[in-house]
Amino acid sequence: MRIANILRKVLRRLVPNNSVEKALGVDICESGVMQNAIELWHNMYKNEPPWRGGKDNVIPLNLPAAISEEFARLILTEFSMEVTGSPMAAFINEQLKDQLTDLNKFVEMYCAGGAIAVKPFVTNIDENGKPTAIELDFVKAVDFFPCAFNNKGEITAAVFVEGKKIGDYLYTRLEYHELTGMTYTIINKAFKSEEIYQYNDDGTYAVRDRFRKEVPLSEVDEWAGLSEEPVIIGNIDKPLFAYIKVPKANNIDTDSPLGVSVFSRATEIIEQADIQYGRVLWEYKATEAAILGDSELFQTDKHGKPVLPAGQERMFKTFDFDNADGTNKGLLKEYAPQIRHEALFQGLNKLLMKIEFLVGLAYGTLSEPTDIEKTAYEIRVSKQRSYHTVTAMQDAWHKGFEKIIYAMRVLALLYDMVPDGETELNCNWGDGVLEDTEAEYQRRWSMVVAGKLKTEAFLAWYFGCSEEEAKSMMPEPVARFPTEE
């Protein structure tokens, strides 16, 4: 199925562009094709793709979530971060430490949606009405609408959407940020939907018009402290949010600077894999062993239906075998066709390998490693591709953290939380994506035993410390006493 046809199946728009534009009086710089793609990736991540169910009763494999989770794991495997340089840096570092405990979840959402917006905001108001802490709001791609870009393709104005379900109503808050020259404007508006109803067993709900009625922000406790009037901040040269996108070329809308999902180029193959998995399940069901018996061999209940042996109802299938000469009367037949699961699984495995290639994962991440006949060089190239994919995303997050720190610093100064000072970001991502730690351990230790590598160098690599620190870990040499002749 072509991507255009898949996008047409996304019928329920989460938050239509034109609704946001009318509510705020701004222009959204996001094409309909791009918004449909983002919603498609969102639904695929929730394991609710448009091809789920249908006449073939397709049961998705949840591959988009698995792919996103794996990339998030690889990105953050050895991640650590510290902001140093001044009391300001220490304050920001402490705030980030509290806010990044669920970073893995947000990186996974970033991978699935193609981007994530991170917006710092002040909180923890003291008795004097002064904020004393800064928190981070992670906004998914489906709840973020760009409004303006600079000549570098960086977003300078955007709308953030937040929803709160209270009783029978859905409250929606639109927060608009705009940087014009050195002036920064923030506008908050709240809306109340008059109609909300549950439409799924999982508790999800739909509304007819999220922006039918504008209401005061104070109607929702969490929004009561926000200004009803536009907030204007001067001497700002960067947006007070970070838009972190997946570093892939946008082949959905080549004119858009927005990010694309890590699995955007594998959408059609993921659909084929889900359909193929459905064939595997059907094969098991269709070839399930059974005994076909003439209905006359069984007693009947009061409704005239055959009474099958208790506990073995699934094994027996009854039919009326009556024919012209009556030769099939009272017949029992065994039904046990040969299953073709091996060929079907091989076909599924080929599709999984194709998905691995398209998303940039090493072979064997999704597919069966035992089925991969690759040379050591080919396996190394496969891991190298995964390494480069992950490294590029780590770089994107590093730049994103720099923007987040800038915004936090502005807020800390604006509300006089801490004196200004230098802030130096130190991120450690490690190289565990490429390296087989156990194999590398054995290789380096054999070099130590052979006298080709110093022991302290080996310990420094293993514990991630300096050679001087490694030396202090080493035991004192054992004294050797001469033996008596």
pLDDT at residue number 9: 39
Q: Which residues of the chain fall below pLDDT 50?
A: 1-13, 324, 371-372
Which positions ≥6 away from 485 have C-beta within 8 Å? none
- 475 residue type, one letter: P
For the chain, domain boundaries: 3-269+385-428, 288-336, 437-473
Please state, as a whole number, how many other Cβ atoms lie within 10 Å of the Cβ of residue 322: 11
pLDDT tens digits for range 423-482: 999 998 876 555 555 667 788 888 889 888 889 888 887 776 788 888 888 887 765 555
pLDDT at residue number 375: 53
Parallel, antiparallel, or unpaired: how do β-strands 316-319 and 290-294 relate? parallel
pLDDT at residue number 63: 96
pLDDT at residue number 442: 81
